[in-house]
Structure 1
Amino acid sequence: MKHRPSKDEQAYWLILSQDKLVQLSGQSCLIEQKWSELHFLSAYADDVIKVGEYRQQNCYVIDLGQEVPDRDNIELINLRAALMSEARDAFNILARAWQVALFLRTHRFCGQCGSRMEAVHWELAMHCHRCQHRCYPRISPCIIVAVRKGEQILLAQGAHHKEGMYSTLAGFVESGESLEQAVHREIMEEVGIKVKNLRYFSSQPWPFPHSLMMGYMAEWDSGEIQVDGREILAADWFDFDKLPLTPPPFSIAGQLIQATTNRVPQ
């Protein structure tokens, strides 16, 4: 997947430094320039990784590791802020670039024998030539579900949410478990209720750090809310016209909430 760019190649460039994205002052994180114009990146010509296309042009990621470019017109912004500020169609390419870079950072050495690994040129993988162990990017399946009860929606405040933020319930799928089983288990563990009429909604890659969110809509069946007090600090039924602070619409949580509150009553 590595690509040594020609000096006249016009493309979109994503530059990572530490755990942030590099942004040239007044510009997008997706830097649209020729390679020859990015003089401060010349030392990284052999480390350019193609991560896809954006607006019909190639998009590449360059990971500077812990180095911070010594330039006056550079800002470092975190991924959540970038996702909030960039155009909506940039979400997938930003998510993929971040996850690819994280995979390469965390698989420099073989987890089986400890030898240094090398990138495979024809696919996104790292290979150990000593023991022949090969690694691919990790994807962690998660479920996320909006639960409706009449003209109310169940929203919860998680231990890691910013103050005042309420969202839909979510959790990782466990080994040997179907997506639907994960939905029922997570809801019961976190808020102590049962649901019915489970319906698939959509999915979204979620780069925090490498999840694939699979969204569902459900209806309350039985039980009273009892939060676990660990992952979930508070939860309640909210009227559609009296929602608390909720996730932004670029997130699948925001989309689930919007779809539930806009749905015609049955």
Structure 2
Amino acid sequence: MISHSLPMQPDTCGYWFIVNHQQLYWPPEQQSLALMSMGELVALFGEPEQSGSLGELNGQAAYYWVLNDQRDDEDNWLSPRQLLAQGDGVFELAARAVQVALFLQTHRYCGQCGSAMHLVSWELAALCHRCGHRCYPRIAPCVLVAVVKDDQLLLARSSRYKAGFFSILAGFVESAETLEQAAVREVKEEVGVDIDQLEYVGSQPWPFPHSLMTGFIARYVGGAIRCQPNEIEEAHWFELDALPEVPPVQTLSGQMIARVQQRILGNKKAT
């Protein structure tokens, strides 16, 4: 369980995820996190705005350490996504640290009456003592959909992607909508095709800034590709043995693409 405002001592030792403006301290020469004492950390960065426990990493305690001062050493700070290739759960804890830091930063005042918020001691929540409003970290569910037609996979390039880079379709779940309904709607809105037979694959926390990605493989039913203006630059059906550049397998979208490839190409070889 995540906790905060720990009564830590200078000799408290662990792995420290140092967060500043949604980025993590990770100098270019740093290959992995090093065990450090709280006293060593204070000597390097000064007192934090917030700190607390994240869980464990390699059998050792892991903590977050939130700073919100100005940075002059931009090369020493990374987005959590740049730590995807780190093993042993580093990315997951890094994502959690960034999301906790964002929650603490954006819930200093009550959204209902404007009074100062106070962190409760037994869970990660902010409470307004004046009106009783309680807030928890926000999680925004998002659907990823791999649409399959025979031996082809539908991939799209959004306006945010570089030329030549494609991925499966994605979109946020709307209020009072199931994950399955969101998947059907997003595919229809973004590329104009209909799907059915949704198969749930898995999920992945995604700290940009507080998403939870949920993945589905779906069957193409009908409709011609029609890209949503200002959202999808291009979309095509690709042969599974001739895919363009796609997300890495450390991401849920990359894992889903690999699963579709393995399933369909493996079945073709078997026959």
What TM-score comes out, normalization by structure 1 length?
Answer: 0.91
User: Residue 144 of structure 2 aligns with which residue?
Assistant: 144
**Structure-2 change in CA distance of 1:206 and 1:25 (3 Å):** closer
Is the contact between residue 119 and residue 126 of structure 1 (CA under 8 Å) also seen in structure 2? yes
User: Residue 47 of structure 2 aligns with which residue?
Assistant: 43
Query: What code does the residue aligned with 1:21 have?
Result: L
| 3-state SS of 1:52 partner | strand
* Shift >6 Å, 4+ stretches: none
| 3-state SS of 2:250 partner | coil
Deviations 1:29-63 (A, max 9, x none): 6342222322224423x731112211221111111
User: Residue 230 of structure 2 aligns with which residue?
Assistant: 230
Query: What code does the residue aligned with 1:96 have?
Result: R
Query: What code does the residue aligned with 2:117 have?
Result: M
| 3-state SS of 1:242 partner | coil
**Structure-2 change in CA distance of 1:163 and 1:49 (3 Å):** farther
Query: What code does the residue aligned with 1:43 have?
Result: E
Extract unaligned runs of 5+ from structure 2. none
Whole-Å separation in 2 of the counterparts to 1:47 and 1:31:
20
Whole-Å separation in 2 of the counterparts to 1:67 and 1:31:
24
Structure 1 residues 35-44 or 91-100, which shifts more? 35-44
Q: Which of 44, 54, 64 does residue 57 from structure 2 map onto?
A: 54
Is the contact between residue 4 and residue 47 of structure 1 (CA under 8 Å) also seen in structure 2? no
| 3-state SS of 1:48 partner | strand
User: Residue 14 of structure 1 aligns with which residue?
Assistant: 17
Whole-Å separation in 2 of the counterparts to 1:88 and 1:192:
40
User: Residue 8 of structure 2 aligns with which residue?
Assistant: 5
Extract unaligned runs of 5+ from structure 1. none
Structure 1 residues 21-30 or 113-122, which shifts more? 21-30
Whole-Å separation in 1 of the counterparts to 2:206 and 2:79:
14
Is the contact between residue 19 and residue 67 of structure 2 (CA under 8 Å) also seen in structure 1? yes
Deviations 1:240-265 (A, max 9, x none): 12111111111101011010111044
Is the contact between residue 144 and residue 213 of structure 1 (CA under 8 Å) also seen in structure 2? yes
Whole-Å separation in 2 of the counterparts to 1:117 and 1:138:
16
Q: How many residues align?
A: 262
Is the contact between residue 147 and residue 154 of structure 1 (CA under 8 Å) also seen in structure 2? yes
